[in-house]
Amino acid sequence: MAHAYQTDQYEGMIAETVTMKGHNGDTINAYVARPLGAGPFPGMVVIHHAPGWDEWYRECTRKFAHHGFVAISPNLYFRDGHGTPEDVGAKVRAAGGAPDARVLGDLDGANALLRSLPYVSRKVGIFGTCSGGRQAFLAGCRLKGLDAVIECWGGRVVMSKEELTPSQPVAPIEYTKDLSAPILGLFGNEDKSPTPEQVNQHEAELKKHGKSYEFHRYDGAGHGFFYYDRAAYRQEQAMDGWKKLFAFTDRTLR
């Protein structure tokens, strides 16, 4: 992994649940992890995947803190009730996912909170997997004040007309021209959402609009190959993905 720390160095971290202002000024909760110290550290908005605001995302948020970021993972399902992450996630699954406008409002609020903290530098990135990958790209196009976008296997960036709903009314790829930050994309070539063909379309659109992008596509991997708690985990591809991710953030956020 890219974090070359020494065995005799000091390190410490604080991680806790906080509240923050999200879409429409609503109060929602979020999980924040940060290294101890004055910083300044770059910020990272961590978008949980569709299955929910779960343990993997807690650990992922702490992983970013371990690598020197102040990381915040807002609970995008806060308004859908409380219970186990699975039960709440299943409720949102049945509703066809969280509305894009609400998600963007919550992500904007998370960025604003990071930027208000005295130990956060002027650089903030955004990371997401699965539906969160889609939302990371959407945020990079629709929100101001993001310096790097990390999209991991974002499904439904490319959407047919039949897939559009009132809560997700526009295919994110339509906003490509508005992308305001460099983007790193990680994809598995055996994924069904997005398919390699959809990733081709995504890449072609980025190229067409002259955007700064870096896509890596892995053979032998499908959807969610970072998830060590699922059968989809692919150790070699995941470790290479994390390495590329931290190389990207070294260039864009430090």
Partner 1 sequence: MCTMIAQQVRIFGRGKSGPEWFDVREANVSYDHPYDLPLEHALNIDFVNEAMGPGARVAVELSVDAARQLVRTIQAVLAEADQRGVLEDCPVIAVPAREISTT
Alpha-carbon distance of 152 to 129, in angstroms, equals: 5
Is position 234 an interface residue for partner 1 (rule: CB under 8 A)? no
Q: Which of 23, 67, 156, 202 binds partner 1 (CB under 8 A)?
A: 156
Provide long-range contacts, Cβ within 8 A and 24+ apart, for 227-232: 227/56, 227/129, 228/56, 229/55, 229/56
Q: Which of 90, 101, 112, 117 binds partner 1 (CB under 8 A)?
A: 90
117-144 b/e (C-beta count within 10 Å ≥ 16 → b): beebbebbbbbbbbbbbbbbbbbbbbbe
Is position 162 an interface residue for partner 1 (rule: CB under 8 A)? yes
Q: Which of 122, 230, 243, 254 binds partner 1 (CB under 8 A)?
A: 230
Is position 185 an interface residue for partner 1 (rule: CB under 8 A)? no
Q: Which of 44, 50, 120, 146 binds partner 1 (CB under 8 A)?
A: 50
Is position 79 an interface residue for partner 1 (rule: CB under 8 A)? no
Could you give the count of Cα atoms lying within 13 Å of 230 in the half-sphere of its Cβ? 14
Q: Which spans of this chain sit near partner 1 (rule: CB under 8 A)? A: 50-51, 80-84, 86-91, 93-97, 130-131, 155-156, 162-163, 165, 168, 191-193, 222-224, 230-232
